[in-house]
Amino acid sequence: MVADPMFEERLRQGLRAQLDGALGPHPTWAESPAARRIREDGVERLPGPRRIRRSTLLLAAAVSVVALTGAFVVGGMLQQRTQNPPVVPPTQSLSVAPSVAALIIEPSTGPQPTPSSATCSNSWTYAGTRSPVGLVDGIRIDEFSGAGGELFMLFPHGLDTVKRILIEPAEPPFRTSAGTKVNLAGIAYFRLTIDGLTKPTPVDDRMVAGKRAPPYLSTVNLPIAEMRRLWKPVYRSPNVGPGRHSTEVWAIGLNHPSCIRVRTARDAYTNDGPGDNVLIVYFDPHPGP
């Protein structure tokens, strides 16, 4: 606590006026000259023209102690009242821990879905401009799934390194690169073409809704009824870049006529370069004729 300087000065002046004749006040009364003479002589003789009784000295010392103590207390209370107002504890708010997600998605910098309108979009295309040559892990799809009825693709590098991505309406019959005809469930169809890969996507050539997928792979969900891979790219050294046969083609069958919405995002955990590396395709019910 802090004492009042003005009060202390007045107290010191008063004590000097009362005790100067006794060569005091001494910092420690028991060791002061007045106390020593009283112990030695047993009389109350003090130098100077004034005689001060022993009881008066003791009373003055007691008064000084009480006054100093009061000054400290009062000064501290005033100081605390003027400088340290009561602190009101802040209202505690509940904080909800964010859920752990598989991807660390950042705000997108690439093409985004067109705002919903009466027009139904049924195609989407994207052309990269960045050279894929020299990327040690190549151009490929690390994660490919149709979980939740949304087509999800995760690339190790930015989408700008892929030569072309095209989603467009399609009609059966569907055939593989070798000319083999394949049947595809659904009543509405799209074709997904990815050009510029150095390695095939590591999933089965057939993905069917409602069936178990191989370990670590996601199965597709409605409205995607079935997906079949028609063309598979030929593996090529990542340092060399994609070759002539670098195209992967998928046929997508849906259980109802659909419009498509496409958005891109960036997974900061897998992509250490600029740009988005995640592609998500949504299949919305067709609004009708």
- Per run of 10 residues, the mean pLDDT along the chain (length 289 residues) is 68 66 55 66 48 52 55 50 47 38 49 54 93 84 90 93 96 93 95 94 89 74 94 83 87 95 92 88 87
Residue type, 17: A
Residues 124 and 58 in one domain: no
- CA 10 from chain center: how many Å? 61
Q: Which residues lie below 8 Å from residue 68, measured CB to CB, with a gap of 6+?
A: 3, 8, 11
Residues 244 and 188 in one domain: yes
Domain membership flag for residue 88: no
Q: How many domains does the chain have?
A: 2
Distance, in Å, from the CA atom of 148 to the CA atom of 90, rounded to the nearest integer, reads 43
Domain that holds residue 175: 109-285
Cβ-based neighbour number of residue 187 at 10 Å: 10
Domain membership flag for residue 124: yes
**What is the per-residue burial (b if ≥16 Cβ within 10 Å, else e) of 134-171?**
ebeebbbbbbbbbeebbbbbbbbbbbbbbbebebeebe
Identify any residues that bridge with 262 across adjacent strands, giving them in sequence order: 281
Model pTM? 0.59
Residues 23 and 114 in one domain: no
Q: Which of 30, 65, 83 is the last residue of a domain?
A: 83
Domain membership flag for residue 246: yes
Residues 197 and 276 in one domain: yes
Q: Which of 83, 101, 125 is the last residue of a domain?
A: 83
Residues 132 and 39 in one domain: no
pLDDT at 67: 55
Residues 155 and 72 in one domain: no
Residues 157 and 26 in one domain: no
pLDDT at 50: 46
Residues 25 and 142 in one domain: no
> To which residue do tokens 């300087």 refer?
5
Question: What ranges in 20-84 are assigned the alpha helix state H?
Answer: 33-41, 54-83
Domain membership flag for residue 233: yes
What would the two tokens of residue 171 be?
A: 């009609």
pLDDT at 111: 52
Cis peptide before 223 (omega within 30 of 0): yes
| Per-residue model confidence as pLDDT tens digits over 136-175 | 788 899 999 988 889 999 999 999 999 999 999 999 999 9
| Per-residue model confidence as pLDDT tens digits over 75-113 | 555 454 444 544 444 444 333 333 333 444 455 555 554
Cis peptide before 113 (omega within 30 of 0): no
Residues 66 and 185 in one domain: no
Q: Which of 48, 65, 83 is the last residue of a domain?
A: 83
Residues 187 and 238 in one domain: yes
Residues 136 and 222 in one domain: yes
What would the two tokens of residue 244 be?
A: 């002539």
